[in-house]
């Protein structure tokens, strides 16, 4: 991002009467001063945070982290908490201290957390005790035992607390966009076995949030559903959008298909996000109701993270109300680079992801390297104010950016004559389930460790509820046996997160490969697309967006 882009962001915010600041802490202070008594967040527990109360809670938590745990400007802090109001406070506290924070989605386990804590050089790892039957404290202490200098802080609903008078002065805002320090590390599971650390500044994540707020025409009286794991970059985006606009967030520790729609209804939700699994649950709740819209004030259904069936857009609009799904497209490395708007035609809302957001330069590159024209498929590549500077592992940057500086999304798509973007597939061998990236190679590498597995391919198959399901196609070694229960037990034992464990197993005589040895996954997808859905015998199917 350059200074022109930063100036344009401020002008766009001001034009709508919103606030803007070059740092997230500056934005927190500005919002607390502007609308101190307005509600920032309301949990389904009844707990509330006003904007002034949020600022004050952030200051006390920052003081506790500073005085008792040595967090300073530049400290690297990894944290893995559910969607609690305290998690929002932790974000603000670390911003006040100028720390480099690394939110981790709560499905990550030993393998991912251990790798990330080491690569990010975290000095502090913050986790709950036990959450959704998993002992996070035990995992964290086991990891810290092998990593000198890594302290574990176990919190549930009580953050460190101290008198803010002990805090050092607030760091000055960066003189230019180029000087903005990296304040965020968001890890994403891509096509490699190890997660990739994407480096963001306060300005890059704010650029994403501002674009989303503009597309949704957000207002101070909006009430928005933040019902997916807050530690996603999208969760941080919604926090910033609320600080920009003054709207209220409705938060829940974990999405419940029955309880969450009732909570949103009771609090008169206007923006009912945030993706296909949630929208399906809202539709089911409406159909189970005794008449009348369950969301009488709803304006739209923000979406993203997984493919949306066009019919779902039409059903939500017709049965509950509002304008339907307003979806967006982006990546952890470049969030909200494309999004629909509340003024787009109905057909475009149903069938596309919208158009590039302000400041985004999006191109489509055909497989032969030429620029694709309107309606022609190719890889989506882009530049924009929300694109990362690079990965924490700089060796990954050469493949991530092309020779002209465009970020390679790895996604296939087309741009139509009106500039609307349609995502058609992926170059990356990654499965997106409930908006979570699953590396096929990571799962394949673990299954290959089993003597019973002679060959394996992990593929993504369409699923109407989760977007995609992971299917393991296994050729069993001669004289061996292999079944679904064995697969699940082994992967759980190796510390693989629940959402990455395949939901379907297909046994074959041989995994098809071409003469060069490459697995013909497209053949397998065609063969098993209508395949049998096999539910895990010991793990419940994760609820939409649940922090399983």
Contact 278, 246 (CB under 8 A): no
240: helix, strand or coil: helix
DSSP at 175: S
Residue 218 lies in a domain: no
The pLDDT of residue 539 is 38
The pLDDT of residue 193 is 63
Q: Which of 145, 168, 191 is the last residue of a domain?
A: 168
Q: What's the number of CA atoms in the CB half-sphere (13 Å) around residue 26?
A: 12
Those residues of the chain that have pLDDT short of 70 are 189-193, 306-307, 428, 514-518, 530-548
Q: What ranges make up the beta strands (E) of 128-283?
A: 130-131, 134-135, 151-154, 184-188, 196-200, 223-226, 248-251
Reading the block at residue 137, the tokens are: 């404290």
The pLDDT of residue 423 is 87
Residue 73 lies in a domain: yes
The pLDDT of residue 307 is 64
Reading the block at residue 144, the tokens are: 């810290």
Query: Which structural domain range is residue 90 located in?
Result: 24-168
Calpha distance 337→371 (Å, rounded)? 19
pLDDT in tens, 269-299: 999 998 888 898 999 999 999 889 999 999 9
Q: What angle do CA 518, 520, 522 make, to 5 degrees?
A: 140
Strands 48-50 and 39-43: antiparallel
Residue 222 lies in a domain: no
The pLDDT of residue 264 is 98
The pLDDT of residue 274 is 87
Cis amide prior to 182 (ω within 30 degrees): no
Contacts for 530 with CB less than 8 Å, ≥ 6 apart: none
Calpha distance 128→177 (Å, rounded)? 35
Contact 6, 177 (CB under 8 A): yes
Q: How far is CA 527 from CA 307, 447, 516, in A?
A: 21, 21, 21
Q: What ranges make up the beta strands (E) of 428-522?
A: 430-433, 436-439, 453-463, 467-476, 504-508
Calpha distance 150→144 (Å, rounded)? 6
Q: Which of 139, 168, 197 is the last residue of a domain?
A: 168
* Phi and psi based region of residue 411 (left: phi greater than 0; alpha: psi -120 to 50; beta: remaining): beta
The pLDDT of residue 189 is 67
Contact 211, 358 (CB under 8 A): yes
Residue 200 lies in a domain: no
- Backbone angles phi and psi of 74, in degrees to 5: 90, -10
Q: Which of 134, 168, 202 is the last residue of a domain?
A: 168
102: helix, strand or coil: strand
Contacts for 179 with CB less than 8 Å, ≥ 6 apart: none
Q: How many domains does the structure of the chain reveal? A: 2
Reading the block at residue 470, the tokens are: 């992971």
Q: How far is CA 179 from CA 43, 174, 203, in A?
A: 37, 6, 11
Helix (H) or strand (E) holding 415: strand 407-415
The pLDDT of residue 87 is 98
| Sheet (strand 421-426) strand order | 361-365, 378-383, 407-415, 421-426
Q: What share of the chain is helix, strand, coil (3-state, %, to 5)?
A: 35, 25, 45
Contact 427, 412 (CB under 8 A): yes
Q: Greatest CA span in the chain, whole angstroms? A: 71
Helix (H) or strand (E) holding 381: strand 378-383
Residue 174 lies in a domain: no
Residue 502 lies in a domain: yes
Reading the block at residue 133, the tokens are: 């039957």
Residue 444 lies in a domain: yes
What is the length of the chain? 548
**How many Å is the Cα radius of gyration of the chain?**
23
Strands 39-43 and 248-251: parallel
Residue 517 maps to which CATH number? Answer: 3.30.300.30
Reading the block at residue 308, the tokens are: 């949306």
The pLDDT of residue 547 is 33
Residue 269 lies in a domain: no
Contact 275, 303 (CB under 8 A): yes
Residue 109 maps to which CATH number? Answer: 3.40.50.980
């Amino acid at each position: 991002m350059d200074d022109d882009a930063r100036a344009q962001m401020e002008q766009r915010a001001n034009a709508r009467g919103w606030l803007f600041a070059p740092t997230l802490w500056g934005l927190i202070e500005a919002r607390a001063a502007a609308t101190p008594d307005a509600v920032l967040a309301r949990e389904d527990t009844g707990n509330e945070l006003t904007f002034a109360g949020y600022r004050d809670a952030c200051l006390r938590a920052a003081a506790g982290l500073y005085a008792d745990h040595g967090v300073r400007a530049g400290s690297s802090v990894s944290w893995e908490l559910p969607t609690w109001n305290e998690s929002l406070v932790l974000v603000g506290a670390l911003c006040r201290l100028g720390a480099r924070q690394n939110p981790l989605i709560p499905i990550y386990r030993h393998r991912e957390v251990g790798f990330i804590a080491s690569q990010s050089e975290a000095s502090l790892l913050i986790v709950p005790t036990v959450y959704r039957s998993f002992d996070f404290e035990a995992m964290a202490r086991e990891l810290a035992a092998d990593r000198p200098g890594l302290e574990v802080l176990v919190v549930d609903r009580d953050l460190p607390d101290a008198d803010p008078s002990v805090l050092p002065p607030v760091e000055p805002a960066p003189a230019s966009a180029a000087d903005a320090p990296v304040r965020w590390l968001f890890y994403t599971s891509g096509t490699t076995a190890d997660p990739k650390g994407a480096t963001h500044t306060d300005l890059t994540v704010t650029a994403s949030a501002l674009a989303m707020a503009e597309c949704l025409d957000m207002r101070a009286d909006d009430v928005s559903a933040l019902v997916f794991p807050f530690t996603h970059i999208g969760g941080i985006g919604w926090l910033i959008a609320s600080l920009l606009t003054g709207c209220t967030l409705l938060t829940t520790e974990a999405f419940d298909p029955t309880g969450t729609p009732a909570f949103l209804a009771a609090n008169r939700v206007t923006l009912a996000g945030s993706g296909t699994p949630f929208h399906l649950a809202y539709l089911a709740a409406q159909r189970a109701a005794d008449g009348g819209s369950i969301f009488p004030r709803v304006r739209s259904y923000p979406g993203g993270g997984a493919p949306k069936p066009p019919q779902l857009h039409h059903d939500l609009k017709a049965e509950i109300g509002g304008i339907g799904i307003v979806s967006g497209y982006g990546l952890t490395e470049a969030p909200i680079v494309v999004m629909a708007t509340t003024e787009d035609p109905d057909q475009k809302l149903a069938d596309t992801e919208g158009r590039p957001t302000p400041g985004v330069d999006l191109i489509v590159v055909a497989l032969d390297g030429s620029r694709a024209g309107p309606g022609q498929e190719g890889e989506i590549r882009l530049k924009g104010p929300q694109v990362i500077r690079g990965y924490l592992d700089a060796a990954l940057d050469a493949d991530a950016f092309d020779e002209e500086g465009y970020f390679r999304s790895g996604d296939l798509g087309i741009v139509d004559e009106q500039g609307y973007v349609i995502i058609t597939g992926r170059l990356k061998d990654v499965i997106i389930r409930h908006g979570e990236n699953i590396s096929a190679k990571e799962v394949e590498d673990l299954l290959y460790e089993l003597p019973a597995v002679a060959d394996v391919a992990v593929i993504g198959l369409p699923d109407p509820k989760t977007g995609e399901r992971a299917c393991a196609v296994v050729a069993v070694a001669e004289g061996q046996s292999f079944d679904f229960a064995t697969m699940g037990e082994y992967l759980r034992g190796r510390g693989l997160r629940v959402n990455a464990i395949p939901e379907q197993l297909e046994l074959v005589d041989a995994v098809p490969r071409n003469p060069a040895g490459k697995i013909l996954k497209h053949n397998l997808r065609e063969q098993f697309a209508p395949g049998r859905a096999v539910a895990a015998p010991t793990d419940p199917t994760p609820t939409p967006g649940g922090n399983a």
